Amino acid sequence: MTTMRYWQALNRALDAELAEDDAVLLLGEDVGLYGGTYRVSEGLLAKYGEWRVRDTPISENSFTGLGVGAAMLGLRPVVEIMTINFALLAMDAIVNMAAKIPFMSGGQFPMPLTVRMPGGVARQLGAQHSQRLEAMFLGVPGLRIVVPATPQDAYWQLRQAIRSDDPILVLEHELLYFTEGEVDENRPAPPLHQAICRRAGTDLTCISYSRMVSVAEAAAEQLAKDGIAMEIIDLRSLNPVDWDRCMRSVEKTHRALILAEDPRFGGVSGELTATLQERCFYWLDAPIGRLAGLDIPTPFNGALEAASIPRVGDVVTAAKALLSPDKER
């Protein structure tokens, strides 16, 4: 068991897979000499050389398409798109190629392609560099999406994604890279798309993912001081979703709060709410609550930026509202 930062866990995962399988290679802007976005590929160029750690031109659709072709030929490329905002320039390669070729070829061409992307609201990066686009990819059949919230999950899920024969997007929040946590490289990993209970509780269930899990945990600490036990389910995966784990928690607590950073309208929270409402209707003692980002481009101003996404106080208020008698119908 070692304490390391989120970016270090990703680096260790890449290092381990490059060492174990000669078919693994890295592609992207600045993944080589510069060491990758947030240092994730630091030191790998010197260790594995230019053939396997390849700096590319600033052309997202081209080098992601190169990754698709390499995967079709039996390699296991890991493509780094510098931020999820730039994935908009690679949508043809991701949506029309990676997601569909295995289906359209009748399984003759698997797609062992991993695409890593930092994203989320960081600190004053402006509207064009603060987008949360996971819901956009959620509507693309054929893609898998994982959202590690801890260094341990970053290590596990990246290694599992690289070994998979499916196209997998690994969405990493920019404010998580320098968070620390324990990583056990020898501990058996849970299934790639399995949700985890981060905190047990009996009064309500908070279902979240990525950085919002830590926001939920801080809110749970405050709620505990008032005698409220909030259970926290970390989805870890957005496609597929571990519905069974979510349902077991809601069956126990009878109340659910969905917490997401992306915009509320058309966002992930809407899909989660709709499906859980269908599956858990007769267990619920109150309508499912939703907390998500405001439906506006992210402001540059620091105070406005912070107010545009859920904060700890917002979660506490929403949880108490779900539990108050006047909210029950």
How far apart are alpha carbons 207 and 121 in whole angstroms? 19
- Structure-token match 């039996």, residue found: 74
From the list 95, 36, 28, 97, the residue with the least C-alpha distance to 59 is 28
DSSP letter for 52, please: T
For residue 60, indicate whether it is catalytic.
yes
Instruction: Count the neighbouring beta carbons within 10 Å of the beta carbon of residue 200.
Output: 11
From the list 79, 88, 2, 94, the residue with the least C-alpha distance to 41 is 79
The amino acid at residue 23 is A
Orientation of helix 312-323 relative to helix 212-225, angle to 10°: 60
* Catalytic residue selected from 17, 29, 60, 80: 60
For residue 193, indicate whether it is catalytic.
no
* Catalytic residue selected from 80, 129, 134, 261: 129
Q: Does residue 68 contact residue 113 with C-beta atoms inside 8 Å?
A: yes
How far apart are alpha carbons 117 and 170 in whole angstroms? 6
Helix (H, G, I), strand (E, B) or coil at 37: helix
Residues assigned a catalytic role: 60, 129
